[in-house]
Structure 1
Amino acid sequence: MTQHTTQRTIGPFKVNAIGLGCMNLSHAYGVPPGPEEAKALLLRALDLGVDLFDTAALYGFGANETLVGQVLKPHRQRFTLASKCGMTGVDGKRVIDGRPATLKATCDEALQRLQTDVIDLYYLHRRDFNVPIEDSVGALADLVSAGKIRAIGLSEVSGETIRKAHAVHPVSAVQNEYSLWSREAEIGVVEACREVGATLVAFSPLARAFLCGELTDPQTQLTEKDIRLGMPRFSAENYAKNLQLLTPYKAIAAEVGCTPAQLALAWIMAAQPKAVSIPGTRSISHLEDNMGALKVQLSADVVEKLNQLINNKTVAGPRYPAATQKEIDTEQFAA
């Protein structure tokens, strides 16, 4: 049996191997839940032992940071707070801007919305290809010196970018999409994180709900403005192919004695023993199910069986449309 502990290290912080991504309480997956429903989920997460909450200036164009600040301020000492800069809403549109002055202004605004004196972990949400990464990270280093943030992270970056950034200031975390069906981090990021001592933080570890096993027809089950409807893997043609992976995947979950979602999260804990996953959800029952993965341990045989079943060669479609992919710094598999 592959042994794992449930504690992880991110820079100076100790957190559980499963945190909470707060994005879909305000952003990207159709109409967000009401404030009371969102509040109940955040507080239930605390009760279940979630001690890493991840938000960003982009999510709801500030609304998510405001929500997290309002609900969790009384409990600030109980968790590690992560947010992001470098991609925000400007005049109702998403804009990538890694200029130092912009990052510092975004941080000041975030501190107000989050109702805190310091953000524990602050990520550059996307690399701005018009700004040297050293300049963007230099601005984050200034924020550390000013006592406004405690640790620096990067998101959706390559191994080369991680090394360049780390030469300016220690990088504590790298947040990239990572799951059984999104393995790009294995090309260069995992090794770069090992070299510099950064923790891999996996967003969308449940493959945007695919690995939960309940999303069988995105075209009818997803609501208008859900970003998945524009993602190639969720097109009618590609999703029909990807669904063929679910039956054997669910069979493995049944053999292990866990839910499909728990299997996906347990795979990350086994495959990357130092990584942290931050699944997002609007459902308290899904939240409870996710946290149950902390008790699931996988044998090396099960890990290998999963690796063979779902990987970059067996999944149909790239993870982003071409226009979005141009904004992403992470290495890609050859077509």
Structure 2
Amino acid sequence: MDNQNRRNFFKTSAILSMGAVGGIASVAADTKINSDVRDSKKAIPNFEKRVLGSGVAALEVSAFGLGCMGMSYHRSFVAEKQKMIEMIHAAVDLGVTLFDTAEAYGPLTNERLVGEALQQVRKDVKIATKFGFIDGQPNRGLDSRPKTIRKVVEQSLKNLRTDYIDILYQHRVDKNVPIEDVAGTVKELIAEGKVKHFGMSEAGVDVIRKAHREQPLTALQSEFSLMTREPEHNVIPLCEELGIGFVPYSPLSRGFITGYINERTKYIASNDNRASLPRYEREAVIANWPLIDVLKSFGDYRGLTVAQVALAWLLAKKPFIVPIPGTTKLAHLKENLDASKFTFATEDLKELDLALSKVKIMGDRYTGTSAQQTDK
């Protein structure tokens, strides 16, 4: 497996990535990072904006958001808090306005990180968080009862150091609670000013329609990437019909669509759900590697990395799609955002789609019913 494309990027960005993941940085290193971030702002003078939702539910955000989960949860290691605060600050400087977290990430620790990092720029950014598990713990099961939603919102407001949440998602559909009750509770919270917009995650078309009738949805967040294309069949068309934004989580398939993960990659099972997911087993990684080869071949002739091709492809699908790739490295953040600069020619997109259609993905996203119990 050839990781050369991404490794070359690492070499040219070494000083930045060292600043993002190393120990306590020196004043000189911090100055260098801040200087490079300012230079990057010149490279993205008008970072593309997109609109999630429509009508009273519309919300303008940056074309890419930042998924913050991996900064403290489910990615084998927990990065140094201060370094992740610096990462979030860098994202703001680079033009990112949408930041995604959840009660379940930690639980609670990721919300607290995001809240601390964004407190000083709160009015300039949009924060999305989620409810839906018993005590914020996915392994304990679902809970979207109205009283639980209200309890979670009060805790999230404290964690996030804010008096309102821009997008409040139901993390997973709770079949024991009518969706009309869930949407109605969020509608009340919107009327009270504690929540601005309603969202759902991993919901099907029927429940989306029911929820949207009760309280217009601004965004539907589901896994969508070149390895997970099921939303194309019905959910994304429904979002287009109803005027709902679509926010793909794991747009780089938990790091696989970077060329950096391979069959020898080890995961710490106590803090990494990839260790239990069929798609990341050794045989599946090997079987799915042709996808990386296709993206690398396309990107090499256009000055793009594997990850940038995959992210640009998502942006090209619909104007209401706003991916939220996560990272703990400044170099990767900049790499991801730079994907917004690339515009597919019609023939190029057809060429890529044809090549991708020949790649058959092996391995389920989740094991059994764990799609209801775990996240990104």
Summarize deviations over 1:161-192 as a string: whole Å, max 9, x none.
Answer: 11110110101100011111111111211111
Pair 1:89–1:101, CA change in 2 (3 A): closer
Partner of 1:223: 268
State whether structure 2 residue 51 is matched by structure 1 residue 6.
no
Q: Assess, with a 3 A threshold, how the Cα gap between structure 1 residues 108 and 285 changes in structure 2: closer, same or farther.
A: same
Distance 1:159 1:62, change over 3 A: same
Per-residue deviation, residues 69-98 of structure 1 (Å, max 9, x unmatched): 111101101111111111354579443211
Q: 363, 366, 371: which is aligned to 1:320?
A: 366
Partner Cα distance (2:107, 2:173) in 1: 18
Mapped to 2, the partners of 1:291 and 1:62 lie a distance apart of: 27
Displacement of 1:61 = 0.6
- The residue type equivalent to 2:251 in the other structure is P
Partner of 2:87: 41
Deviations 1:46-78 (A, max 9, x none): 111110001111111100111111111011011
Which of 206, 209, 228 is the equivalent residue of 1:160?
A: 206
CA contact (8 A) 1:58 1:88 kept: no
Name which of structure 1's ranges 240-249 and 118-127 shifts more when overlaid on structure 2: 240-249
1:170 paired residue among 216, 219, 233:
216
Question: Letter of the aligned partner of 1:43 in structure 2?
Answer: H
Q: Is residue 240 from structure 1 mapped to residue 282 from structure 2 by the alignment?
A: no
CA-CA distance at 1:129 after TM superposition: 1.3
Instruction: Label 1:37 to 1:134 Cα distance change in 2 as closer, same or farther (>3 A).
Output: same
| Closer, same or farther: CA 187–17 of 1 in aligned 2, 3 Å | same
> What is the identity, as a one-letter code, of the residue corresponding to 1:110?
S
Q: What secondary structure, in the 3-state scheme, does the structure 1 residue paired with 2:76 have?
A: coil
Displacement of 1:303 in angstroms is 2.2
Aligned to 1:105: 151
Alpha-carbon offset, residue 136 of structure 1: 1.1
User: What TM-score do you get using the length of structure 1 for normalisation?
Assistant: 0.91
Equivalent runs, 1:254-293 vs 2, <5 Å: 254-293=300-339
SS at match of 1:277: coil
Q: What is the 5 A alignment of 1:31-180?
A: 31-87=77-133, 89=135, 93-180=139-226
Structure 1: which amino acid aligns with 2:341?
K
What percentage of aligned pairs have identical amino acids? 36
SS in 2 for 1:179: coil
Query: Unpaired runs of 5+ in structure 1?
Result: 329-335
1:114 deviates by 0.4
Structure 2 distance, partners of 1:185, 1:252, is 24
Q: Aligned equivalents of 1:139 and 1:77: distance in 2?
A: 25
Say whether residues 1:301 and 2:342 are aligned partners: no
Shift of 1:312: 10
- Alignment check: 8 A CA contact 2:269 2:276 kept: no
Kept in 2: contact 1:183–1:311 (CA 8 A): no
Q: Label 1:150 to 1:263 Cα distance change in 2 as closer, same or farther (>3 A).
A: same
CA deviation map 1:95-121 (0-9, x unaligned): 321111101110010001101010011
Describe the shift of the 1:32–1:311 C-alpha distance in structure 2 as closer, same or farther (beyond 3 A): farther
Residue type of the alignment partner of 2:60: K
Could you say what the CA RMSD is over the residues aligned between the two structures, in angstroms? Answer: 1.9
Residue deviations 1:3-59 (CA, integer Å, cap 9, x gap): xx9221123321111010110011111121011111111111111111000111111
Q: Distance in 2 between matches of 1:309 and 1:222?
A: 30
For each residue in 1:97-155, what CA deviation from the matched residue of structure 2 results, as whole angstroms up to 9, or x when unmatched? Answer: 11111011100100011010100111111100111111111111111111100110010
**What is the number of residues matched between the two proteins?**
323
Stretch moving more, 259-268 or 244-253: 244-253
Q: What is the CA–CA distance in structure 1 between the aligned matches of 2:174 and 2:213, rounded to whole Å?
A: 18
Contact 2:139 2:373 in 1 (8 A): no
Judged with a 3 Å threshold, the aligned counterparts in structure 2 of structure 1 residues 92 and 273 are, in CA distance, closer, same or farther, namely: closer
Higher Rg of the two aligned structures: 2
Q: Unaligned regions of 5+ residues in structure 2, if any?
A: 1-46
